[in-house]
Copies of this chain bind each other. A is one copy, B any other.
Amino acid sequence: MTQNSLNMDIWSRGWAIILAGGSGTRLWPMSRSLLPKQLLALNGEKTLLQQTAQRLLGKLPPERIVTVTNEEHFFEVCNQLAELHPDLKQHVLKEPMARNTLPAIMLGMDRISLHAQQPLVGIFPSDHMIGGQDQFESDWEEALNLADQDWFVTFGIPPRKPETGYGYIAKSEELSAKAFRVAGFVEKPPLDKAQEFVSGGTHYWNSGMFVIPGKAFLEAVEELQPDLWIWWQGREATPLADGYKGIPEISIDYGIMEHAGHLAVVEAGFKWDDLGSWEAMFRMGDKSDDQCVITGDVLALDCRESLFFSSGGKLAVVGLEKMAVVQTRDATLVCPLDQVQRVKDVVGRLKAEKSPLVEAHVTVRRPWGSYTVLEEEQFYKIKRIMVHPGARLSLQMHHHRSEHWVVIKGTALVQVGEQEMIVVENQSVDIPKTSMHRLSNPGRVPVEIIEIQSGPYLEEDDIVRFDDVYGRSPAGNTPEDQ
Instruction: State the A residues within 8 Å of B (CB).
Output: 29, 299, 301-302, 310, 312-320, 323, 325, 327, 329-336, 339, 342-343, 345-346, 349-350, 355, 357, 372, 374-375, 379-380, 382, 384, 402, 404, 406, 408-409, 425-428, 430, 450, 452, 454
Contacts and interface: CB of A to CB of B under 8 A. Distances in A.
Given A332-B314, A334-B323, A428-B428, A408 B452 contact: yes
Given A299-B346, A408-B452, A332 B327 contact: yes
Contacts of A325: 332, 334
Contact of A315 (B320, B334, B427): B334
20 contacts: A299-B346, A299-B350, A310-B332, A313-B330, A314-B332, A314-B357, A317-B333, A317-B335, A318-B335, A318-B339, A318-B342, A319-B339, A319-B342, A320-B335, A334-B334, A372-B375, A379-B408, A406-B428, A426-B454, A428-B428
Chain A at the B interface: SS class? strand
B409 A379 contact: yes
B314 A355 contact: yes
Nearest to A28: B316
B334 A316 contact: yes
A374 B379 contact: no
Contacts of A350: 299, 314, 316
Given A313-B332, A346-B299, A406 B406 contact: yes
Given A374-B382, A406-B404, A450-B450, A318 B332 contact: no
B301 A408 contact: no
B345 A333 contact: no
Interface core residue of A323, A336, A349, A450 (most chain B CB under 10 Å)? A450
Given A312-B313, A314-B355, A327-B332, 4 more contacts: A299-B349, A315-B331, A318-B336, A404-B428
A315 B312 CA distance: 13
A182 to B, nearest CB: 38
Contact of A316 (B318, B332, B426, B452): B332
B301 A317 contact: no
Contact of A408 (B380, B406, B426): B380
Contacts of A317: 333-335
Given A299-B346, A346-B301, A450-B382, A320 B334 contact: yes
A301 B402 contact: no
B346 A332 contact: no
Nearest to A330: B313
A317 B372 CA distance: 26
A452 B448 CA distance: 13
B334 A313 contact: no
A62 to B, nearest CB: 34
A430 B425 CA distance: 12
Contact of A425 (B332, B335, B346, B454): B454
Contacts of A342: 301-302, 318-319
Contacts of A408: 379-380, 452, 454
A430 to B, nearest CB: 7
A318 B302 CA distance: 21
Given A299-B349, A346-B318, A379-B409, A313 B329 contact: yes
